[in-house]
Amino acid sequence: MLTLTENAATAVTSITAQIPADGGGLRIRDTGAQTGFELSLVERPEPSDTVVETDGARVFVAEDATVALDDRVLDAEIGADGAVRFALGVAG
């Protein structure tokens, strides 16, 4: 299952605070080998999504991305300008 670093959890919590719904989160879906993954803010998970919660951060993994992200770690870097950059690493 996808895990989140402390930095990623902080970034997701900060970003999802912009969503008016209490059950909102960051959704990750697989858009194919050529384009990778798509991240989007959503008000609730799709029924087939896997919900990953870490320190209050909610990430919804779309069914099509579940296998690809099974042994991955989501990390984040917040730039001086406040921009967030996410990266996936291998759990280990």
- Output the domain CATH number for residue 21: 2.60.300.12
The contacts of residue 5 (CB under 8 Å, 6+ apart) are 73, 74, 75, 76
Which residue range forms the structural domain that includes residue 75?
3-90
pLDDT at 57: 94
By DSSP bridging, strand 25-30 and strand 57-61 are parallel
What DSSP string describes 9-54? HHHHHHHHTTSSSTT-EEEEEE--TTT-EEEEEESS--TTPEEEEE
pLDDT at 49 over 90: yes
- Mind listing the pLDDT tens digit for each residue in 68-91? 999 999 999 988 887 889 999 887
pLDDT at 62 over 90: yes
Number of domains composing the chain: 1
β partners of residue 2: none
